[in-house]
Amino acid sequence: MTFRHAAFIAGAWEHPTRYAPELSVARLHAECAQGALLDAGLSLDDVDGYFCAGDAPGGLPALMADYLNLKLRVVDGTDSGGCSYIAHVGHAARAIASGECSVALITLAGKPRSSGQATGTEIRQVAPERPAAPFEQPYGWTVAGLYGLLARRHMHEYGTTMAQLAWVKVAASHHAQHNPHALLRKVFTVEDVLASPLVADPLRRGDCCVITDGGGALVLVSPAIAKSLARPMVGVRGFAETVRTGEAGRLDLLTTGAAVTGPRAFESAGLAPGDVKYASVYDNFSIMVALQLEDLGFCAKGEGGRFVADGNLIAGSGRLPWNTDGGGMCNNHPQNRGGITKVIEAVRQLRGEAHPAVQVRGCDIALASGPGLVMGAGHAHATVLLERVR
């Protein structure tokens, strides 16, 4: 379908905590829901569509719907990993456009920091019913190890350097210093990143995202309701999602799902990469930023390392203002799923509500894009294009 303002994001809220051992996951979801609805000028009684993923308690939307006492016409519990919430924006827009609901709530929450999770270095225990389990389990792969392979391959194929990729962290830190809720507010240098501990060759700790508790929520509404609210109108202009399969063992590890969702989202929006004033691109690892920027069309294949280098992603001076809240690299990565924070910061930019030091002038078109699950071991992707129309 064409996503030309089929629905509008009226509420966007990011939980301020980054460490919440005293709060239940259900409570975090509820606080995020209340925050986004308050931002929109609505209440739980107005919600007739609810969208969540596997981070919801019990992994089921029905349990959170009951906890929030929602009266629903539409429920969607699609789980595609960290990009689920970008995908849910498209799902909610479709549901609103078809008349299935008029106020859709999307929530995310979790507590990986409280539980002591590490930076993608735990050996993954593959569920025995997973189709690839007999081939994956014996090797004890780690998330960081797989992304290390991607980085090494990109270096081999295109001459990319870790000094270039270090600029992803540097750019994020330049933005995070202005975010009072960011977990890391230190401004990093390339030398800082290269001197950080090795995690999975060639990736260092500075190439990896933070681990945080917390969450966020979004509220999408019909055009009629959006016009009645005293909020800027941020419309869904384009959307696409995909599952990037392993292609029976012939997977090109340097092509992400963004190669599918980027062109499709731009086509549905009637836009091109050059129209984007601000980009929220999921930054679980520095190499994934470079790969996705290539596949989204912001630079040629193989040019990602050079594109992210030398401050090109820093708002106010770089070519493409990116993750101006500090992103997953420095700000927040709740439940190890960063999709919702990407949409939230894109909404802030379009409303003109980002920190003045990083606010993009005349921001009318923004992109939020990212992967879900693990590249090379079950990989989903979603991209949404948003437009400020009032």
Query: How far is Cα of residue 300 from the mean position of the Cα atoms in its chain?
Result: 22
**Total-model pTM:** 0.96
* Contacts (Cβ under 8 Å, ≥6 apart) of 49: 72, 73, 74, 75, 76, 92, 95, 96, 100, 101, 102, 103, 104, 105
Give 145-158 pLDDT, tens digit per residue: 999 999 999 999 99
In this prediction, residue 61 carries a pLDDT of 95
pLDDT band at 141 (very low <50, low <70, confident <90, very high): confident
Give the residue-averaged pLDDT of 352-377. Answer: 94
| Spatial distance between the Cα atoms of 244 and 137, rounded to a whole number of angstroms | 21
Check residue 123 and give its pLDDT.
65
141 in Cβ contact with 221 (< 8 Å): no
pLDDT at 126 over 70: no
DSSP letter at 334 equals B
**CATH numbers and ranges of domains, the chain:** 7-113+214-236 (3.40.47.10), 145-210+238-388 (3.40.47.10)
pLDDT in tens, 381-390: 999 999 999 8
Residue 240 has pLDDT above 90, yes or no: yes
Residue-wise pLDDT for 248-283, tens only, equals: 777 788 999 999 999 999 999 999 999 999 999 999
Among 199, 198, 23, 63, which Cα is nearest to 122's? 199
3-state SS class at 90: helix
pLDDT in tens, 59-96: 999 999 999 999 999 999 999 999 999 999 999 999 99
Most confident of 115-129, 284-298, 364-378: 284-298
Q: How far apart are the first and last CA of the chain?
A: 23
Average the pLDDT over 229-235 and give the result: 95
pLDDT range class, residue 224, cuts 50, 70, 90: very high
Query: Taking the mean position of all CA atoms in its chain, how far away is CA 129?
Result: 28
